[in-house]
Amino acid sequence: MNMKTKHIIFFGYIAASIALLLFSYTQVDLNLTLSRSSVVQTVEKAFQHVGYYQRPLAAGMYIGILFLLFALYGMVLSAVKRNTLNQRDVWRIVFLVAAIVVFSYPAAFSYDFFNYMFTAKTVLVYHQNPYVVTPLLFSGVDPWTNFMRWTHLTTAYAPLWIGMTLVPYILGFGYFVPTLFAMKGMVAGWYLLCAWAVGKVVEKTDAGNAALGLAVFALNPLILAESLVSAHNDVVLSAFAMLAVWAYVSKDRWSAWLWLAFSIAAKTVTIVLIPVLLLRRSIHWMVIAMFVVLGLVLLKREFLPWYWVWIVPFVAVLPIHTKLTRFAAIVSFGLLVSYAPYLYFGEYNATEQWWKSPCILAGVALALLSALLPVSAATAPRRQVPAPR
């Protein structure tokens, strides 16, 4: 039975990853041609036809992939709790998924990724300050601006992140497709580092559930979508934050402060962890602090799905709290479903927002209601000796 469950999960993730990879290419911008090859262009146009001219079908395909990913996620968490999967098995799934999905088209849900690329180009090619000039300045000169968004704004990214983006741009020799995948590879590396750090934290605090903590973070479908598909840089601040937490629980205070400084330099939201480190409070206080900073951000902005990447790693380092894991998973589902109206309508307008906001609110409401439900013995994680890796 154990081997049968493993095979179902492994092949399920292969199928889901390939489906997500292929679906992402239905969203390639109509102003973008990925290859000069006529064969590739024919295939590309066929995918675009689905994404842009058969929108109900595209939205339905997306929802189907979501259900598959969340079903597999639930199966993995259940299998880990029953000791059907160990930490080595979870890592095999993580590497398998990452190796496939890293080749997805990054703008299936957000165009921020192209701003990362163009910021590096602004520095290295145009020798301009991205905090002063906007991409719109290069409109008509640089073809990349034809499929970008937010070209009228200067960069909002931290200097540390901009410095990181220079490396994949150099490795891509300035060509679009090689640079795109070099950048995707870099973000995927941070995803893997964050997953590794989450596992190391749980090994220190609750060793018997290290595999569960790893799975809670690394196979959460929202983490896969926002870190491996859209490749948002939020996973970078989370990786640094998890390294800080690992150093903190290892009683290495100086390293904890160093990693936290890098996390804040990548994106300032983790500044709320400073009081926790100063007062030497438990990880539970870190989780509370991250929820507080998310709440403060949401007072000024809409709930963008990739903001949840700040939260999931901190939930994952407390895998014994099943209700918290369940809460994070349900919110993740609501946030990912909120992309479906855009896929259906094709633009961010009032109608799309009318459908998007209820998806998010319903997810949060259901997650809160789930906290009132008891945890059955079958779904509760057990404190146990570490499984072999």
DSSP string, 321-346: -HHHHHHHHHHHHHHHHTTHHHHHHS
Distance separating alpha carbons of residues 211 and 216, to the nearest angstrom: 9
Q: What is the pLDDT of residues 299-336, one digit of tens each?
A: 999 999 999 999 999 999 999 999 999 999 999 999 99
What the block records as the tokens of 355 is 């459908």
CA dist 152 and 5 (Å) reads 51
The tokens of 120 are what? 């590096």
| Dihedral over alpha carbons 33, 35, 37, 39 (to 10 degrees) | -70
| Cβ neighbours for 155, distance < 8 A, ≥ 6 positions apart | 115, 119, 122, 130, 131, 162
- 13-36 mean pLDDT: 95
Whole-number CA gyration radius for the chain: 21
Q: Where are the domains of the chain?
A: 2-111+179-370
Q: Predicted confidence band at 389 (pLDDT cuts at 50, 70, 90)?
A: very low
- The amino acid occupying position 60 is G
**Main-chain phi, psi angles of 230, to 5 degrees:** -70, -20
Q: Tell me the C-alpha to C-alpha distance, in Å, between residue 228 and each of 49, 63, 224, 329.
A: 24, 18, 5, 18
**C-alpha of 75 from chain center:** 20
- CA–CA dist 148, 171 (Å, integer): 21
pLDDT at 48 over 80: yes
Helix (H, G, I), strand (E, B) or coil at 113: helix
- Say what the pLDDT of residue 83 is: 93
Question: What pLDDT does 125 receive?
Answer: 97
What mean pLDDT is predicted for residues 19-33? 95
- Tell me how many helices (H) and strands (E) the chain has: 17, 0
Question: How high is the pLDDT of residue 377?
Answer: 60
Rounded to 5 degrees, what angle do the CA atoms 202, 388, 1 make?
110
Mean pLDDT of 83-87: 95
φ and ψ at residue 267, rounded to 5 degrees: -165, 130
- pTM of the shown model: 0.95
Residues 44 and 51: their CA atoms lie apart, in Å, by 11
What is the Cα–Cα distance from 52 to 282, expressed in whole angstroms?
A: 49
Distance (Å, whole) CA 213 – CA 200:
9
Looking at the predicted structure, is the pLDDT value of residue 381 above 80? Answer: no
